[in-house]
């Protein structure tokens, strides 16, 4: 297991369409090593999600957090070759997003509030899940990375892009609305 360097905006690996992973290779040593390294890297950098191109691997694999299990512990999912579908494009949620590949900045992005996702998990099993709210945002942010899209591409009003400290002081006032989620949203860098 190794902590890998995180690619930063401007590197072409973040702007390309990533290649699917052969499902038969998921349980092989190469992909399993990548998954372990991505977990270690994500923990080290304090992200709630990470996409493979962020560690210079242009393949369709993400780790996505923002969910809790039945006991209230954070749940992280490995999703390989994820396919997202949106039931209601008009049902949107907006929040200030961050990204480990764009350090220190936050920007306000609106996305569909609920998504259905089909993917392979880390054991090579086909899974289907439904997510809404914060976890749906994290997942969409990570999956965007697989198509070379960064959250700043989705900011409609660039006056709502700023440095973390200034955003927290002057722009992001959503935390007061739901205290339970505030810590999670405040650490939404991925
Ligand atoms: Ni990101």
Domains defined along the chain, listed by start: 12-186 (3.90.45.10)
Å from CA of 135 to ligand 1 middle: 14
Confirm whether 118 is a catalytic residue: no
Residues of the chain where predicted confidence (pLDDT) is lower than 70: 173-190
Contact (Cβ atoms closer than 8 angstroms) between residue 184 and residue 134 = yes
Å from CA of 82 to ligand 1 middle: 16
User: Annotated catalytic residue: which of 125, 142, 164, 175?
Assistant: 142
Q: Which residue has the tokens 């976890």?
A: 135
> How do residues 167-190 score in pLDDT, each as one tens digit?
999 987 665 544 444 444 444 556
Å from CA of 55 to ligand 1 middle: 11
**Residue-by-residue DSSP string for 94-123:** EEEEEETTEEEEEEEEEEESEEEEEEE-TT
Per-residue DSSP letter, 149: -
User: Distance between CA 92 and CA 121 in Å, rounded?
Assistant: 27
Q: What pLDDT is stored for residue 190 in this prediction? A: 66
Å from CA of 177 to ligand 1 middle: 25
Q: What pLDDT is stored for residue 87 in this prediction? A: 83
pTM (2 d.p.): 0.90
């Amino acid at each position: 297991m190794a902590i890998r360097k995180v690619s930063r905006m401007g590197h072409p690996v973040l702007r390309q369409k990533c290649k699917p992973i052969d499902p038969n290779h998921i349980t092989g040593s190469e992909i399993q090593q990548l998954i372990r390294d991505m977990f270690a890297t994500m923990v080290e950098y304090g992200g709630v999600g990470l996409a493979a191109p962020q560690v210079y691997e242009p393949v369709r694999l993400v780790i996505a957090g923002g969910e809790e299990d039945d006991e209230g512990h954070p749940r992280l999912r490995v999703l390989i070759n994820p396919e997202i579908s949106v039931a209601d494009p008009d049902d949107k949620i907006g929040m200030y997003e961050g990204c480990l590949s764009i350090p220190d900045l936050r920007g306000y992005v609106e996305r569909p509030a609920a998504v259905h996702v089909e993917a392979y998990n880390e054991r090579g099993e086909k899974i289907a899940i439904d997510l809404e709210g914060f976890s749906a945002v994290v997942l969409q942010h990570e999956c965007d990375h697989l198509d070379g899209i960064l959250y700043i591409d989705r900011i409609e009003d660039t006056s709502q892009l700023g440095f973390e400290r200034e955003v927290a002081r002057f722009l992001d006032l959503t935390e007061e609305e739901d205290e339970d989620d505030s810590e999670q949203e405040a650490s939404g860098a991925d």
